[in-house]
Amino acid sequence: MSPTARLSALLGSAHPEPAVAVTLFTTVLAAAIGRGVGGSVLVAATVLAGQLSIGWSNDAWDARRDLATGRRDKPVAAGLLSPRSVGVAAVIAVLVCIPLSLANGLIAGSVHLFGMVAAGWAYNVGLKRTVLSPLAYAVGFGSLPAFVTLGLPGAPWPAWWAVVAAALLGMGAHLVNALPDIEGDLVTGVRGFPQRIGRTACRTLTPLVMLAAVGVLLVGTPGRIGLPSLLIAAVAAAVAIAGTAIPAAPDSRRPFRAAVLTAALAIVLFLFNGSAVV
C-alpha cells in the first residue's frame, strides 16, 4: 500500500465526519463567546486531537466485532490497516491532545481531558456495552461548553442551559449513531441502551431527545425570546413530530433524518445564542 493510500485509510478510520462536526461546532462556539482568533484555533486543534484519538481507539477496540459483522467500510475490518497501527495512532493523538488541552488553561484542559476525551475512551473500552452508554455522550458533549468558557480570562463557568443542551445533543448523537448497527451490535454482544430498547423505540426517541435540547435552549437563554429563535424552534418541533408521530415502515429512514435535521437546528439555535453562554 502506498503512503498516500495508507494515510487515507488512517484518516478514514478516525471517524472523520463526527470528528470534524464536533470540532467545527466547538470552534464556532469559541469564536462566538470571544475566545479570539488564536484561542479559537487552539480550541480547534485541541478538540480535533481528542476526537481523532477517540475515533482511532474505537476502531482498534472494535476490530474483531467489525470483522465479524462484515463492516467493510471500516479500514481495519477491510484489512487496510492493522488494529495495532490504529491503536498506536490513538495513543499518539492523546499525547498530542494533553499539552494542547492544558494550553487552554489548567481547569479548561482538565475538563476537556477528563470530560470529552476520557468519556469517549470509556465508551469505546466498555461503557458502550452497558445500559449507561448514553452517559459517555452526555458527559463528553456536556463538557464542551465548559471547556470553551473556562479558557476565557477569569475562567468563568458556562450557563446551566448550555451544558444541559449540549448533553442532550450528545445523547441524541449516540442514538443516531447506534441506529444503523443495532442488529449487528446485538449479534456481537453489544447491549448498550439503544440496543436494549430496540430499533423502533430508538427511532422514536432520537428526534424527541434532540427536540428537548431545542426546548432547553429556548427557555434557558436569558432575555426575551426573539423571532428567529422561535422560528427555529417551531421548525424543529415540526420536523421532530413528522419523524415520530406519522406512521412509517419499520425500515424507514424518516425518523433518522428527522433526528439529524432537528439536531442541526438545535446547533444553529445554540450558536445563535452563543454569546449568552457565559
pLDDT over threshold 70, residue 252 = no
CATH of domain 1-132: 1.10.357
Q: What is the rounded CA–CA span in Å between residue 44 and residue 24?
A: 7
**pLDDT at residue 3 in the model:** 73
Please write the tens of the pLDDT for every residue from 39-83: 999 999 999 999 999 999 998 887 777 776 666 667 777 777 888
Structure-block grid coordinates of residue 6: 495508507
Structure-block grid coordinates of residue 203: 427511532
Please write the tens of the pLDDT for every residue from 180-229: 778 888 888 889 999 999 988 888 888 888 889 888 988 888 877 788 88
Among 278, 240, 266, residue whose Cα is nearest residue 166: 266
Task: List phi, psi (to 5°) of 119.
Answer: -65, -40
Among 158, 142, 139, residue whose Cα is nearest residue 150: 158
Amino acid at 96: V
